[in-house]
């Protein structure tokens, strides 16, 4: 199930265009202003399984398509990538919200807000001072 985004979430950001966008896996991650592209190490410390690294060692963030403000990482529960998302938030230049999308799950943005579709959850990580707050929406 793809992650679907459209203009207008007050709680988690907004898209830059009113056209629909759907991305699955890497397509969902690259929709963000700052994209998590892989890696499993943070300064040499393991933060997620090496199998989730996409052939990168250090957690790597790059400029994305900037369709949505929150950073997005994928396969969160199945691949154990939530710690990588937390590290990526710290490495970004001011991104304060990250979304970890589970398998078979979509984050759907509409003019009235965001909703989670599918059989699993979206994990929201939000920077709060020196801490990161985690909220799971099934």
- CATH number for 49: 3.40.50.880
Closest by Cα among 62, 40, 59, 35 to 51: 40
17-21 contacts at long range (C-beta below 8 A, 24 or more positions apart): 17/67, 21/67
Phi, psi of 76 (to 5 degrees): -55, -50
> Mind listing the pLDDT tens digit for each residue in 58-107?
999 999 999 889 999 999 999 999 999 999 999 988 999 999 999 999 88
Q: How many domains does the chain have?
A: 1
Judge contact between 51 and 39, C-beta under 8 A.
no
Residues 24-41 as b/e (b if ≥16 CB within 10 A, e otherwise) read eeeebbbbbbbbbbbbbb
Question: CB 102: neighbour CB atoms within 10 A?
Answer: 22
Phi, psi of 47 (to 5 degrees): -120, -15
Q: Which domain holds residue 38?
A: 3-137
> Which residue is listed with tokens 């984050």?
107
> Mind listing the pLDDT tens digit for each residue in 96-114?
999 999 999 988 887 788 8
């Amino acid at each position: 199930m793809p992650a679907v985004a459209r203009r207008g979430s007050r709680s988690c950001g907004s898209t830059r265009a009113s056209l629909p966008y759907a991305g699955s896996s890497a397509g969902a991650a690259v929709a963000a202003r700052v994209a998590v592209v892989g890696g499993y190490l943070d300064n040499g410390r393991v933060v997620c399984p090496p199998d989730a690294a996409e052939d990168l060692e250090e957690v790597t963030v790059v400029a994305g398509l900037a369709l949505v403000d929150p950073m997005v990482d994928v396969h969160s529960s199945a691949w154990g990538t939530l710690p990588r998302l937390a590290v990526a938030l710290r490495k970004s230049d001011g991104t304060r919200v990250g979304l970890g999308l589970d398998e078979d799950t979509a984050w759907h943005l509409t003019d009235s807000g965001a909703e989670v579709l599918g059989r699993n959850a979206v994990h929201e990580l939000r920077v709060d001072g020196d801490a990161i707050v985690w909220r799971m929406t099934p």
